[in-house]
Amino acid sequence: MNQIKIREVSGKQGTNEFIDVMWKIYDQKKYPQWVPPLRMSVYEALDTVKNPFYKNAEIKLFIAEKDGKIAGRIAAVENRAHNQFHEDKIGFYGFFECIEDQAVANELFKTAETWLKSRGFDQMQGPMNPSTNHECGLLVRGQSQHPTIMTTWNPKYYEELHDQYGLTKAKDLVAYIIAKEKNTELPPRVVEYVKRLRAENSRVTFRDFNVKDFQNEVDRCFEIYNSAWEKNWGFFPMTKEEFAFAAKDMKMILDPRMAFIAEVDGKPAGFMLALPDLNHVFKRIPSGKLFPTGIFKLLIGKKMVKSVRIVTLGVKPEFRGSGIFALFTYEAFERANRFGYLAGEASWVLEDNVAMNKPWQDLGAPLYRRWRIYQKALT
């Protein structure tokens, strides 16, 4: 028959059906690397009522069926905050999942493209789930690796589905890995360099994120975030409400010793957020549901996690150029050793961001995963 049907879904029931597509696509025996996400987290990312991102954005959800069976999904996203900041006309797609069938993928991409064209956009970029301030990128290198928390994973054939449709590379994002068993000692030249930097920058100090002063700490990090990333490719400012919404979700899994703030003369200059890699726990919750038993697996498993993902590292522009990025990476390495973490991933890093790539390269951390943001002209 080979009959392909695309239908739009909405509301609570439609959103749950859209989320459920992942469990229809991924066979965990065939794809043992896939980590089922927490359904409630995906729902929050799509919740146009409660998620403040959608106060200045719109999303449409589409599901593909082939011969009456679920075959894929895609979201089309209008991100007005991005377009206002960059003064462009880029529309986005995200939450892409598809069986290994080019015809199905083509129909999904075409559906998103048609909706974005109708909104007046002249280019499509993605995957964005739903923006660069959230999960984004298609994994094009590192499928054999266990994905870390809040990063995307997909089978290798997804890359061909994109290429064959005519989507091309816009930008790559990369990840570096530091594993204690492989790299227990830092290169001597790095240690000497950091010692010299510490002597020259005695005004720079690091402190733990103070969870007892959570809201004020979030406000300090928010101020750093929007100034630190302002000139990065794909960046657009988060509102204070959006930032607080994201921080609320991270509070439960935060290790304040691995979320630390740099101060210069007592004033916040930068912050690093390294989250325990709870994907190792989520793997044990195959349904993606916290209740009734998943919550216990999460609470018990959290204490056993020995790896982290460095999600964010940002420094205010006025404090750069003084080796502060190197001090941050060294501080992270020392803290990981001190608190018993055996491995860490730094991601995502823009492939052409020299200032952010160099500290990890100097530490001897190998680049081991790569995600791609695709683009296509809407003519």
User: CA angle, corner 1, sides to 16 and 7, nearest 5?
Assistant: 30
Residue 1 has a pLDDT of 62
Nearby residues of 57 by Cβ (< 8 Å), 6 or more positions away: 77, 78, 79, 80, 81, 130, 131
**Residue 322 within a domain:** yes
Same domain? 145 vs 19: yes
DSSP-assigned letters across all residues of 123-155? EEEE-EESSTTSEE-EEEE-TTSPPPTT-----
Task: Report the C-alpha dihedral over residues 230, 235, 240, 243, rounded to 10 degrees.
Answer: -120
Same domain? 278 vs 354: yes
Segments forming the whole domain that contains residue 212: 178-370
**Residue 319 within a domain:** yes
Residue 185 has a pLDDT of 66
Q: What is the pTM of this model?
A: 0.92
Same domain? 58 vs 155: yes
Tokens standing for 205?
A: 């100090």
Same domain? 199 vs 346: yes
Number of domains forming the structure of the chain: 2
User: In order along the chain (379 residues), what is the average pLDDT of each group of 10 residues?
Assistant: 92 97 93 94 96 97 96 98 94 98 98 97 97 95 93 97 98 90 65 80 86 92 84 87 90 88 89 91 86 68 85 86 79 87 91 87 89 96
Same domain? 158 vs 199: no
Same domain? 131 vs 251: no
Same domain? 156 vs 129: yes
Ramachandran category for residue 181: left, alpha or beta (phi over 0 → left; psi -120 to 50 → alpha)? alpha
Same domain? 121 vs 186: no
Same domain? 205 vs 59: no
* Tens-digit pLDDT profile for residues 96-124: 999 999 999 999 999 999 999 999 999 99
Same domain? 163 vs 196: no
Same domain? 359 vs 286: yes
- Main-chain dihedrals φ then ψ at residue 8, nearest 5 degrees: -85, 140
**Residue 376 within a domain:** no
Residue 299 has a pLDDT of 66
Same domain? 167 vs 32: yes
**Residue 379 within a domain:** no
Among 133, 154, 174, the domain-final residue is 174
Residue 75 belongs to a domain with what CATH number? 3.40.630.30
* Tens-digit pLDDT profile for residues 18-72: 999 999 999 888 999 999 999 999 999 999 999 999 999 999 999 999 999 999 9
